[in-house]
Structure 1
Amino acid sequence: MTPLTPVTITSAAGGAKSDWLHTRTPAFSLYGRVSEKTLVQMAQDLQDFDGLLRILHGVDAQPNGKPLPIYLVPRRFDLQRVKPGLASGVGGFYTSSIGEIFAVMSVEGGEDHGRRVLFHEYTHHFMKQHAPAAYPAWLVEGYAEYFMTARFKPDVVELGVTSPRIAWLRGTSWTPFKEILGRRALTGGRADIVSFYAQSWILTHYMMSDPERLKRFARYARGVADGGDPVGLMPEAAGVPLEDLPRVLRDHMAALPGRRMARPPSTAGALEVTRLPASADDLILENQRLKMGVPKPEREKALAMIRERAARYPGDRLAEMTLARAENDYGDRAKAQALLKQRIATDPRDVEAIQTLGYSYMLQARVDRAQAPKLLNEARDWFGKGFAVDRDNALLLYDYAISRRGEPGYPNDNAVNVLLRAQELAPQVPQFRIAAADALMRRDRFEEAAAMLEPVFNDPHVGPEAAEAQRRFEEAIARRRPVETVEDGDKSG
């Protein structure tokens, strides 16, 4: 665990304060209804974990893009404020959608458990950012399970020294590896899923514990990403037939040779902790729920609740932005636009308000076809104001390009480049990849489109976008130009 660095404590300006605290590191923006000590410790440990991943993967030491927002809550029940219907035993989740990429985590099971889950989820985020490819599901989860075991000590980092999965593996029959390796989604009952995670972990641990196996593991990952069979390629990678793999892995688990390395210097620095306004108690998690999207049957109730709560905090930014988002998507769009213009008048550099206002005019154009050209121009004017503040905002780039759909000649070079830039900045978001692939296919760039789509439908956590990505991938493969063959008699040179 990282020694605590000095903390500067401030309060948000004006009015009553909430139980929510905020701090920020180069790679993370943490919000927590937890103790100041817990928030700071989590922030420092996450930043150190990011540094460890960067060193081991040879990635630039400076994070790319915006810090990842993480919300720490005291109880698992609090997670349902963001994701109603979530199973009561779930301790946290990570989501990457158009609304935002973020994670929510409960510390109810103890800080060590929460830290492991955050390390697991951040490994997914890191892989998608820096090495997106069509990995098999077992590798995606096994890799995250391997790195979630990282333990930071004063001078040493330990990896793979132990894991909660060992007890399961010792106490139950293993699923045949032909099934584990070939699975493309997390399917089956609870026992099936736990077995999948546990066996994926020990196989990844085995492959990463020896330099030669690690080289074969890398070749295996590239081979599967290029379309190879995840089951058929494993015997060569592991060095043993599939039927011998359980015996070999049980022997490996008995010894479990973990990895120890010198602890890299922390990049967290001195942290400033801010106490958020009282509105955070009522609305900070509800705002995140809106970003994920509210199912149609729940929208009326959600809108009424947000209207009632936001009314308690006139002039408060979080309250007005949450209300504007709810009104724009499910209520009075004119009211939303008035609220957003008011926020922008207060702060002309509020990119979130600017983007939301532009998006509001896009939605209005979809229902008012007579005024659509005028409304879309209005939307693009606001996107332009947003670019002046933040040229690397993936959502602004995406919305701008999508606003051009339906125009003659769409997509032109600029629209293609804008969509490619959006997915480059946030490759974790399936919709960004699908939109970029669609633009590439419209320009007959089918090979590039197929490569763009494969990580989406191979991702075990992607929802309904996976089916769309699969359909578009198959279309791209079917329409790509075959390699031209030249008769011997026509060869020159």
Structure 2
Amino acid sequence: MLAFFLATLAARPAHADWHVAETAHFIVYANASEAALRRTGERLEKFDKALRVSRGILEPSLGKAGRLTVYFVGNKDRLAALAGTPKVAGFYIPRAGASVAFVAGGLSEDGPLALGSQQVLQHEYAHHFMATTWPDAAFPSWVSEGWAEFHATASFDRDGNLQFGAAPLYRAHGLQAGHPLPIQQILAGAAGRLRADQRDALYGRGWALVHYLSFEPSRKGQLSAYLDAITKQRKSPEAAAAAFGDLDALNKELERFLRQPRISGFRIRAENLAVPPVTIRPLRPGEAAILPVRIRMDAGVDEKTAPGIFADAKAIAARFADDPEVQRVLAEAAYDAGDYTAALAAADRAIAADPKLVEAYCSRALAQMAIAEAAKNDTAEGWAEIRRTIERAGRLDPEDPRPLILLYRSYADRRQWPPEAARKGLLHAYALAPQDRGLRMQVAGMLIGENKLTEARAMLLVLTYDPHASGAGAAASRMIDRIDAQIRALASTPKS
């Protein structure tokens, strides 16, 4: 599968080449012309601007690590090779300092009839936007997917206005077939292992509910009350659904809504969508050569795939010993494969070629930590040197969460309680990257260690409703059970 992906990704259509576009919120890689990629970058920036304008959300100041990296990987077979499943049109991985989305197809715009690259990318970015804008809110799966679908169909008209609210007609079956997943089950937070028809109903009916509850005057405030009941009042989704009153009546209203000949939405005018210029450049030969390896690594590496990826990275890196990006990728691939000496050497070559490459310092620190642990080198001098590497990375970009996480890990992984500066750094890393589920779990664990049980519980609650959290959601539920037991025990302890 990996060999197939690498081979097909390397194939280039005529009159195109790999370019990267950098905008305020995105870094986009595509095998496309500069003009096509510029249009895509501008469209994505305007989409983000419209999300903020429509909700009165202030523009954040993002460094490179805060932007979403997007790969247009070509056809669906290549995407399936990355995802490990054929039943996917695109996917998003939230990571601190390295969130990434993968999309199949070209850069052309599609209408709501088709599930094209534009719809997929807008859906995935809506998830990213929710996670980074409202990190403390618990969204049941129908709200999360319905909100993402609501924004997936946004489209520009001839005058540059952006229209929201169109029905996702590619979800026609899910919109019309309510029986596989009744409204009571949807509002109770249906998630987990759903059949294909149930998942389609969740997406389609989720869109319809979000749309109807947002715009129907008689239902004003009910969706907010439902979410507040879950997040602030700690109610179950079943209990919170009381905010909607008679659910059978709501379902009948929803059926009438879906039978309307025309479904309205709202429009953001072009003059409100001014965005900064998009920067485009072709990839250097080394960057282009290593890109297939980088894409595969960014999609996720495990024990089975790591050796093959490392072998491919070594073969390419031998031709581009002075390219910082090539050597940085090699360092990460070597680390994943367990060759920490090679990882350290590659990181040093990357730093020599580009002393401002934060990722290279992070790879260097990881390799140093692994070498020290393998050699049982627990000297203060050795770990002081490791932390100097981490501090260099942090000075290069104080708004990159990865050095802050590494500093905390340099204590916690050795079963040492991190000092206050490292704990504050981890909290700042979370503020920079609340979308990272692993980081959220780590911060919650730290808060439990500080006996801040209520704060830890609130952070974990979000994961229990995240339809994409899988194992993290289950682990968060178990931690909440232990927190609740501890809170009850403290409440029942007689005061002296």
TM-score with structure 2 length normalisation?
Answer: 0.87
Q: Which runs of no fewer than 5 residues in structure 1 stay unpaired?
A: 1-16
Report what 2:195 is aligned to. Answer: 189
Do the aligned partners of residues 378 and 18 (structure 1) sit closer, same or farther apart at CA in structure 2, a change above 3 Å counting?
A: farther
Are the aligned partners of 1:411 and 1:442 in contact in 2 as well (CA < 8 Å)?
no
Deviations 1:281-334 (A, max 9, x none): 442242243245422122222222222233233322232112111112214321
Task: State whether structure 2 residue 194 is matched by structure 1 residue 203.
Answer: no
> 1:153-164 to 2 correspondence within 5 Å?
153=157, 154=159, 156-164=161-169
Superposed CA offset, 1:219-245 (max 9, x none): 2111122322323333533x5x22233
1:103 to 88, 101, 106: 101
Cα distance, 1:276 vs structure 2: 0.3
CA contact (8 A) 1:220 1:233 kept: yes
Structure 1 counterpart of 2:146, which letter?
A: G
Deviation string 1:99-127 (CA, Å, 9 cap, x unpaired) is: 72111111259542211111111111111
1:249 to 244, 248, 254: 254
Equivalent pair of 1:394/1:423 in contact (CA under 8 Å): yes
Q: Quickly say closer, same or farther: Cα 1:289–1:323, change in 2 above 3 A.
A: same
List aligned pairs for 1:408-427, cutoff 5 A. 410-427=417-434
Larger RCO, structure (CA 8 Å, separation 6 or more): 1
Mean Cα deviation higher: 456-465 or 196-205: 456-465
1:7 aligned residue: none
Bigger shift: residues 175-184 or 102-111? 102-111
2: CA distance between counterparts of 1:170 and 1:390? 46
> Deviation at 1:40?
1.6
Aligned partners of 1:27 and 1:63 also within 8 Å: no
| Cα pair 2:174 2:204 within 8 Å, conserved | yes
Match of 2:9 in 1: none
In 2, Cα distance between equivalents of 1:162 and 1:184: 22
Q: Name the amino acid aligned to 2:124.
A: E
- Residue type of the partner of 1:28? F
Equivalent residues of 1:423, 1:433 under 8 A apart: yes
Which residue of the other structure, out of 125, 128, 131, is the alignment partner of 1:122?
125
- In the alignment, which residue of structure 2 is the partner of 1:72? 72
- Pick one of 291, 311, 335 that aligns with 2:318: 311
Distance 1:293 1:365 in 2: 25
- Check conservation: 1:24, 1:30, Cα contact below 8 A: yes
Amino acid at match of 1:204: V
Question: 1:80-479 alignment to 2 at 5 Å?
Answer: 80=80, 82-83=82-83, 85-87=84-86, 89-97=87-95, 100-107=98-105, 111-112=109-110, 113-132=116-135, 133-153=137-157, 154=159, 156-165=161-170, 167-169=172-174, 172-174=177-179, 175-211=181-217, 213-226=219-232, 227-237=234-244, 239=245, 241-255=246-260, 256-371=263-378, 373-405=380-412, 410-479=417-486
CA-CA distance at 1:213 after TM superposition = 2.5
* 3-state SS of 1:100 partner: coil
Q: Is the 8 A contact 1:355 1:386 kept in 2?
A: yes
In 2, distance between residues paired with 1:417 and 1:191?
Answer: 46
User: Residue 471 and residue 99 in structure 1: after superposition, are their counterparts in 2 closer, same or farther (change >3 A)?
Assistant: farther
Aligned to 2:11: none
**Deviation (angstroms), 1:398:** 0.6
2 CA distance for matches of 1:86 and 1:286?
A: 19
Q: Is the 8 A contact 2:16 2:32 kept in 1?
A: no
CA distance in 1 between partners of 2:353 and 2:171 (Å): 55
Q: Is the 8 A contact 1:24 1:272 kept in 2?
A: yes
Show CA shifts across 1:49-80 (max 9, x none). Answer: 11111122221124445221111122122325
Counterparts of 2:145 and 2:394, CA distance in 1:
36
Kindly state the Cα deviation for residue 91 of structure 1 after the two structures are TM-superposed.
2.1
Letter matched to residue 142 of structure 2? W
Find the aligned partners of 1:314 and 1:122 in 2 and give their Cα distance: 35
**Residues 184 and 458 in structure 1, CA contact (< 8 A), matched pair in contact too:** no
Once the two structures are superposed, what CA deviation does each residue of 1:147-200 show, in whole Å capped at 9, x if it has no partner?
Answer: 112222225332113322562146535321122222453422211111111111
Structure 2, unaligned stretches of length 5 or more?
1-14, 111-115
Distance, in Å, in 2 between the alignment partners of 1:118 and 1:432 is 24
Q: Which moved more, 1:55-64 or 1:243-252?
A: 55-64
Q: Are the structure 2 counterparts of residues 296 and 352 from structure 1 closer, same or farther at C-alpha, using a change threshold of 3 Å?
A: same
Asked whether the equivalents of residues 82 and 285 of structure 1 are also in contact (C-alpha less than 8 Å), the reply is no
- Aligned residue pairs total 468
CA contact (8 A) 1:71 1:104 kept: yes
CA gap 1:121/1:416 in 2 versus in 1, 3 angstroms:
same
**Residue 37 of structure 1: how far off its partner (Å):** 3.2
Structure 1 residues 232 and 472, CA gap change in structure 2 (3 angstroms): closer
Distance 1:292 1:116, change over 3 A: closer
Q: TM-score, normalised by structure 1?
A: 0.87
Indicate conservation of the 8 Å contact 1:51/1:264, yes or no. no
The secondary structure found in structure 2 opposite 1:232 is helix
Shift of 1:349: 1.5
Alpha-carbon RMSD across the aligned residues, in angstroms, is 2.7
Match of 1:22 among 4, 20, 23: 20
SS at match of 1:480: helix
**Other structure's SS at 1:370 match:** coil
Specify whether residues 111 and 63 from structure 1 end up closer, same or farther in structure 2 by C-alpha distance, changes over 3 A only. Answer: farther
Residue 50 of structure 2 is matched in structure 1 by: 52
Q: Is the 8 A contact 2:79 2:104 kept in 1?
A: yes
Q: 1:147 to 1:293 in 2, by over 3 A?
A: closer
SS at match of 2:411: coil
